[in-house]
């Protein structure tokens, strides 16, 4: 996706600062820039605009406003670049924990907007890729556990060894055009139902 195709939502209650960000984005080639001047009802605005990237400028945010922005960043699943005038260590840690892709303290200039946005998008994509890989690894591990349980059930029920049990699972999966883990889960579920009182 090219820069001109990316939709950017700028959230800033200060019109002068919002104009600086918007000018920096437009000069960098972003054509779809939406600016809103209030944080109230932000989730609704995000839903309406459906931006690819969100830029939030908070000047001097209080703790409650920061926390609501961090809560928002956990739910929107998009790159977020957040500009603040002042910060402390706990706010920085909270921003990172909330998944804010770029948390910039006292660094708002027109020329810096594009590189910061590029970095936010790159960090978001890297984090999303790592999260996806972690979930795939967890799913694979869970699948192996289920397969091991299913093999144990088959070994006991049919008086066969582990290799034979696995071959039977694999053959059934191939015949039904399903994953081995799905067949194994069905077997484990059936066994649990049979043993329920």
| Distance (Å, whole) CA 77 – CA 62 | 23
Residues 80 and 11 in one domain: yes
Residues 90 and 186 in one domain: no
In this structure, is residue 155 part of a structural domain? yes
The predicted-structure confidence for 141-179, as pLDDT tens digits, reads as follows: 999 999 999 999 999 999 999 999 999 999 999 999 999
Residue 2 binned pLDDT confidence (cut-offs 50, 70, 90): low
pLDDT given for residue 125 in this prediction: 85
How many domains in the chain? Answer: 2
The predicted-structure confidence for 109-153, as pLDDT tens digits, reads as follows: 778 788 888 888 888 888 889 888 999 999 999 999 999 999 999
For tokens 């289920």, name the residue.
146
pLDDT given for residue 149 in this prediction: 95
Structural domain range at position 84 = 3-108
In this structure, is residue 118 part of a structural domain? no
* Residue 117 burial (C-beta neighbours within 10 Å; 0-12, 13-18, 19+): buried
In this structure, is residue 115 part of a structural domain? no
Whether the predicted pLDDT of 75 surpasses 80: no
pLDDT given for residue 1 in this prediction: 59
In this structure, is residue 10 part of a structural domain? yes
Closest CA to 112 of 188, 21, 45, 193: 21
3-state secondary structure of 14: coil
The predicted-structure confidence for 16-59, as pLDDT tens digits, reads as follows: 888 888 988 888 888 899 999 887 777 888 888 888 888 888 77
């Amino acid at each position: 996706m090219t820069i001109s195709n990316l939709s950017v939502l700028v959230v800033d209650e200060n019109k002068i600062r919002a104009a600086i960000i918007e000018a920096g984005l437009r000069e960098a080639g972003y054509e779809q820039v939406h600016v809103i001047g209030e944080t109230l009802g932000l989730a609704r605005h995000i839903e309406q605009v459906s931006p690819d990237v969100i830029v939030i400028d908070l000047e001097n945010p209080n703790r409650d406003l920061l926390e609501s922005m961090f809560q928002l960043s956990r739910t929107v699943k998009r790159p977020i670049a957040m500009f603040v005038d002042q910060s402390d260590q706990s706010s920085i840690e909270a921003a990172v924990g909330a998944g804010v892709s770029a948390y910039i303290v006292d660094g708002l200039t027109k020329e810096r907007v594009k590189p910061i946005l590029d970095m936010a998008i790159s960090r978001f994509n890297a984090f999303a890729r790592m999260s996806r890989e972690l979930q795939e690894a967890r799913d694979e591990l869970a699948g192996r556990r289920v397969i091991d349980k299913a093999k144990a059930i088959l070994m006991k029920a049919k008086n066969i060894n582990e290799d034979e049990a696995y071959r039977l699972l694999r053959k059934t999966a191939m015949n039904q055009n399903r994953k081995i883990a799905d067949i194994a889960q069905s077997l484990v579920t059936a066994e649990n139902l049979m043993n329920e009182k």
